[in-house]
């Protein structure tokens, strides 16, 4: 019978211990709950394996006010990068509006960050399309660059703790029963008093 070298025994023990740590704390390393993870998976939006911190920023809104991302901590943030000239962006905006109106009172904030257009263009687009969510102006593209945006639309979902739990690129219909169910699960997760 062959003997197992001591260093290999230690390595195996460490590997087993590392595998058991997430199980001891629950099967969800992001601590969002299995219901949330499954709901997003059913919606075709699998959550990230690990939360990532947001890159904070302050930008002017199309209406002239200023918004700071970290001020939204405590809410679930739908952070979307877009432009008025982008066809897939234009197509997904009505479904984003429906999602925003449905869940705003439950703690969802939607922030659409327009890349390198002026307030007059963005305000006209919002008005013409009856969009009520806030639109921030990334006039020099710095915020988009910090987030690694290479194509639009691009969407990040940020949890109530201010951590990114999902990234998706490309336009989509955000008003489906599966996506609605996923946001319902996410918004009721945790005890945040919102």
Per-residue pLDDT tens digits for 103-112? 999 999 999 9
The number of CA neighbours under 13 Å toward the Cβ of 180 is 9
- The alpha helices in 129-168, defined as continuous H runs, are 142-146
| pLDDT (mean) for 68-91 | 98
| pLDDT (mean) for 71-83 | 97
Q: What is the pLDDT of residue 62?
A: 97
Given a cut of 60, whether residue 172 has pLDDT beyond it is yes
Of residues 4 and 30, more confidence is placed in 30
| pLDDT (mean) for 95-101 | 98
Domains (range + CATH), the chain:
30-188 (3.40.30.10)
The CA–CA distances, whole Å, from 124 to 2, 62, 78, 119, 139 equal 77, 10, 22, 8, 16
Q: Order of strands, edge to edge, in the sheet holding 108-115?
A: 52-53, 163-169, 154-158, 76-82, 108-115, 135-138
Q: What is the pLDDT of residue 32?
A: 81
Four-residue CA torsion sign, 112, 117, 119, 125: negative
The mean-pLDDT minimum among 20-24, 87-91, 158-162 falls in 20-24
Tell me which H or E stretch contains 100: helix 87-103
Q: What is the pLDDT of residue 31?
A: 76
């Amino acid at each position: 019978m062959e003997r197992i070298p001591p260093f290999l025994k230690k390595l195996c023990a460490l590997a087993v211990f590392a595998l058991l740590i997430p199980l001891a704390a629950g099967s969800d390393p992001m601590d969002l709950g299995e219901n949330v993870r499954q709901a997003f998976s059913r919606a075709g939006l699998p959550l990230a394996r690990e939360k990532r911190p947001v890159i904070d920023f302050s930008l002017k809104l199309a209406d002239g006010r200023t918004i700071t991302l970290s001020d939204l901590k405590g809410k679930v943030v739908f952070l979307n990068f877009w432009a008025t000239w982008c066809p897939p962006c234009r197509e997904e905006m009505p479904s984003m509006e429906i999602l925003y109106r449905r869940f705003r009172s439950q703690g969802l904030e939607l922030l659409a960050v327009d890349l390198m257009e002026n307030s007059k263009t963005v305000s006209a687009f919002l008005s013409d399309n009856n969009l009520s969510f806030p639109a921030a102006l990334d006039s020099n593209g710095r915020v988009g660059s910090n987030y690694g945006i290479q194509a639009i639309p691009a969407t990040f979902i940020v949890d109530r703790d201010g951590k990114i739990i999902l990234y998706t690129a490309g336009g989509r219909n955000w008003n489906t029963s599966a996506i609605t169910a996923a946001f319902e699960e996410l918004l009721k997760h945790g005890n945040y008093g919102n």
